[in-house]
Structures are given as C-alpha cells and as structure tokens.
Amino acid sequence: MGRNNSDFHATTFVLGIDVDLKDVSRYALYANQGGLGLPDRDYYLQASFAAQKAAYQGYIEKLLALIGWPEPKANAAAVVAFETRIAEGSWTKAQQREIEKVYNPSQLAPWEISRRDSRGKPFYEEPGPTRWTA
C-alpha cells in the first residue's frame, strides 16, 4: 500500500498529503476512497453502463490470460464483483465534493489500532523515520 502512488499499485483507499482544506498554513494527510478500475461508481451500479462493465471484465480476462493466470474468466468475474462491492460503499462524485463531509481532522491516536498490515507486519516502526514494510 505504501508504494501505490509511485508504483501504480491499486488499493481500496488512497493516502495523500495536501494543503489543509481549512488552514492553508499547514499540510494534512488525507485518506480517500479508491479501488475502482472504471471511472466512477455508477459504471458498476447503473444498468445504463452494463456494456462498459462487460467490456471491462473482458479486458481483465484478456490481461489475466496474457500473463498465464489460472481461470482468467472466473477470476475476471471475481475482480469485477469485488470492485462492484467497493462501488456500493463508495461516495458519489457530488458527495466527494461536500467539504463538511470530507473534512474530518483527527490526531494519529485513532489510527494506532490499525498499525499492522493484513500479515501482522507493522506499517512503520518507532522511533525514527517512517519505514514502510514490503
């Protein structure tokens, strides 16, 4: 996850640093939704985009076949199903522009609970500079 901005690794959420939305004299760490290969959540959820969603699934299937991934058709369907679940929980473009909804400052303390990745390895070690684990 730590390399997703520099190496194009996709994740279900994206971290980034930008100017604080309500205090331009400082920077803030932002966590945003991610995980979708299609341009918008509507491509997964609205029937009017069924052709685009099917073409996307075919594209994933072709890529999986090209790299020799087992069962490319079934796995492409699983990828699209997973992204559809992410889309169901994603905000609309209009919701993402509502500053009062997206601006939720907090200290690091609430994040301390999830300091480890899915394998139990720490995202960073203390003390000293941040070091991402592979």
Above 90 in pLDDT, residue 76? yes
The pLDDT score that the predictor gives to residue 116 is 57
The pLDDT score that the predictor gives to residue 130 is 47
Give CA–CA dist 27/4, Å, rounded.
20
Above 60 in pLDDT, residue 109? no
111: how many CB neighbours lie within 10 A of its CB? 12
Mean pLDDT (the chain) is 80
| 107: Cα separation from own chain's centroid | 22
Cα-trace Rg, the chain = 18
Amino acid at 116: R
Over the stretch 25-68, which tens digit does the pLDDT of each residue have? 999 888 888 778 998 999 999 999 999 999 999 999 999 999 99
